[in-house]
Amino acid sequence: MVFKKRFFCLIFFLFSLFSCITTNDLEYIKSNNKSSEVKSSIQNYRLQKGDLLSIQVSTTTEQQHDFFNKENTANSQLMMRNPYLYGYIIKEDGTLDLPSFGIVEAAGFTLRELESIIKNIAISYFENPVIKINILNFDVTILGEVNNPGTFKIVDPEVNILYALSLANDITQFGNRKKVKIIRNDNESNKVFYVDLTKKDILNNSDFILKPHDIIYVAPLRKKFFAFQNITNLVSMSISAITLFLLITND
């Protein structure tokens, strides 16, 4: 009788250590079944010092001032290895030094605003110029409980956290979606903050949009060490424990 009590106490203790990963732990942007609308007040990314820009000018004019389309004829592999050879960097004072165009204020503007500014200058050199600008050194690093951690280059400067996590093949079933850490270099100092990806309000949070060189760290759930991936494993262990008990008591 004493043996049975001790055995059941041991089984109870072991099961108290274990917990199941439920669908509730894996859900993003939780809401009720009713459709809802979240109005976004997130502003477009504004350029800052250190951003490396690709500037292309398309025109019907003879290419007398074709300084901005170097990447069209450059070795693409060389450009991927060292984009600083072909891009224009925003300097410490927030300006770009562009051939023929001179010094252009860039920091604090969106890409579309800077395209408009450069277009107004380019009109003096080209006929009906079309300006296209992209950030060459926009990348994010994703670490922790994701399926494919690493550093990823971003094309769209309005990238959000969920899109970035998709590049890392999503958070694992053991990742804590309620406390995702973001490490950001903000005005030469590192800023650390957390976002809860299960909250609907995150869609209207400025921190939902990433900035160049952000580091995303997904911490593991506290229950990870003893967690079951699904209920099948829990049932299997239960049957094994009961079978062991019956074999021992029958003897």
- Gyration radius from the chain CA atoms: 27
Cβ-count burial of 228 within 10 angstroms (0-12 exposed, 13-18 middle, 19+ buried)?
A: middle
Where a domain ends, among 99, 115, 135? 135
Strands 88-89 and 175-186: unpaired
Looking at the fold, whether 127 and 142 belong to one and the same domain comes out as: no
What value does the mean pLDDT of the chain take? 78
Question: Same domain, yes or no, for 32 and 155?
Answer: yes
Phi, psi of 105 (to 5 degrees): -65, 130
Give 72-83 as a 3 state SS string: HHCCHHHHHHCH
Say whether pLDDT at 15 is over 90.
no
Residue % of the chain over a pLDDT of 90:
39
Q: What is the pLDDT of residue 1?
A: 56
Q: Is the pLDDT of residue 25 over 70?
A: no
Both 62 and 105 in one domain: the answer is: yes
Mean pLDDT score, 246-251: 59
pTM: predicted TM-score of the whole model, two decimal places: 0.71
- Domain check: are 130 and 152 in the same one? no
The pLDDT score that the predictor gives to residue 148 is 96
**Amino acid 128: pLDDT:** 86
pLDDT, tens digit, 9 for 90 and up, residues 170-198: 999 899 999 999 999 876 778 999 999 98
* Residue that is written with structure tokens 């951003």 in the block: 51
61 and 97: one domain?
A: yes
Kindly list the strands in the beta sheet with 189-195, ordered across the sheet, starting from the edge strand earlier in the chain: 150-153, 139-144, 215-220, 175-186, 189-195
Across 21-35, 84-98, 179-193, 222-236, least confident range: 222-236
Query: CATH number of the domain that 214 lies in?
Result: 3.10.560.10
pLDDT-derived band at 169 (thresholds 50, 70, 90) equals very high
Mean pLDDT within 59-72: 60
Report yes or no on 114 lying in a domain: yes
Note down the domain range covering 108.
52-135
The reported pLDDT for the residue numbered 126 is: 84
Of the residues 135, 160, 177, the one at which a domain ends: 135
* CA atoms of 196 and 242, how far apart (whole Å): 40
Same domain, yes or no, for 122 and 155?
Answer: no
Identify whether 69 is part of a domain. yes
Q: Clarify whether residues 74 and 123 are in a common domain.
A: yes
Q: How many domains does the chain have?
A: 2
Per DSSP, the three-state class of 150 is strand
Q: Are residues 33 and 142 in the same domain?
A: yes
What local confidence, expressed as pLDDT, does residue 200 receive? 85
List, for residues 200-222, the tens digit of each pLDDT value: 888 888 888 899 999 999 999 87
User: Does the residue 120 lie in any domain?
Assistant: yes
The pair of structure tokens assigned to 72 is: 């069209």
